[in-house]
Structure 1
Amino acid sequence: MNVKFLTRTAILLAITLIFQFLKMPQLITGSIVNAMLLIAAGTVGMWSGIIIGLLTPVIAFLVGIMGFPLMIPFIMVGNGLYVMLFSTQKNKVIGMIVGAVVKFIWLALSVKYIIQLFNVKVPLKIVQAFTFPQLITALMGGIVALIITAFLQNYFKTAKEG
């Protein structure tokens, strides 16, 4: 890790947290957070996106945005899978789609089955939030990220040449 990596990751994390603090509906906030994960991965590197994906659910809980702490490790894994699958594919569109589907399946299974293995009653509102909306927000955020990342990569390339 170098100063550029840390600085860019910190800036992207701060932007992500600002959107979380606005407490907009899940469709908007989730899409933006997912976009930021892939923007970080696409412009700074896979580990930048993973770091942001690990920190955002913890911070969301600590500041009272998320009220079901048992989901934190599952969200962290889902975010990590989303970023890794995006980052490791040459075709970023395919990587984003596969990452979105895997994240959705992981979170849906987690909230419906894994947590229930621990004999925890999961509120219906939480189950609903961590099933189909996760696919929609990952895909919407992924589309936004692909557009912004392409623009930023072009900008960085032009800036180096100029």
Structure 2
Amino acid sequence: MNIDTRKLVRASLLLAMGIIFQIIGRNIPQINQFLVGPIINCILILTAFICGKWLGAGVGILTPILAWLVGQLATPLAPFIPFIIIGNLLFVFLFSLFMEGELLKRSIGIFLGAIGKYVFLMFASRKLIYLLGLNFPPKVAKALSISMSIPQLITALIGGALALMIIELLIKRKIL
């Protein structure tokens, strides 16, 4: 198996893990965002680090679409999927600028990626959807603006920290 095939298989396995957690999260709506969010963010960072930023981006594109398909993302929020994808891409690409090197540098990447994702999703949910004429019902728009604000920052930081711990463990054990 060549290196590219190995990376694709690993990215596929990480994506499959994400789908499994999305299905589990769908069945626990009370803690859904704070269970699934960090795990998906962790998977995005792990995929970027282990498989490369482009496969990390691919997982970042597929996870919100698959969340909608498995019912983890509510149907009224489907028009917001492109914004979630962009938020995921910001997280992955900003992290990837700092992923080479020591833990401190990777930590900066996590922090900047989380901030980038948070700022974009907050702006998109509070301003961009109106500028683009997306007609979310008022209740949905309000819930969207709440869930796409501070919770996004928290889940990205937690998921990123978890990914960094796993990366350090894999490096220490000479698996990576």
Q: TM-score, normalised by structure 2?
A: 0.84
Q: 1:79 aligns with which of 52, 71, 88?
A: 88
- Once residues 45 and 61 of structure 1 are traced to their aligned partners in structure 2, the CA distance between those partners, rounded to angstroms, is 25
- Once residues 103 and 119 of structure 1 are traced to their aligned partners in structure 2, the CA distance between those partners, rounded to angstroms, is 20
Unpaired runs of at least 5, structure 1: none
Aligned to 1:49: 56
Offset of 1:86 from its aligned partner? 0.5
Unpaired runs of at least 5, structure 2: none
Q: Is the 8 A contact 2:93 2:113 kept in 1?
A: yes
Q: Is the 8 A contact 2:22 2:70 kept in 1?
A: no
Q: Is the 8 A contact 2:91 2:114 kept in 1?
A: yes
Identity %: 37
Offset of 1:119 from its aligned partner? 4.7
Letter matched to residue 63 of structure 1: V
Q: Is the 8 A contact 1:43 1:152 kept in 2?
A: no
CA deviation string 1:99-154 (max 9, x = no partner): 00010000000011111121523522221111110000000101000000111233
- Once residues 129 and 122 of structure 2 are traced to their aligned partners in structure 1, the CA distance between those partners, rounded to angstroms, is 11
Q: TM-score, normalised by structure 1?
A: 0.91
Q: Give every structure 1 segment of 4 or more consecutive aligned residues whose post-TM-superposition deviation is greater than 6 Å.
A: none
- Once residues 110 and 120 of structure 1 are traced to their aligned partners in structure 2, the CA distance between those partners, rounded to angstroms, is 13
Count of matched residue pairs: 158
Aligned to 1:22: 24
CA RMSD of aligned residues (A): 1.6
- Once residues 36 and 21 of structure 1 are traced to their aligned partners in structure 2, the CA distance between those partners, rounded to angstroms, is 15
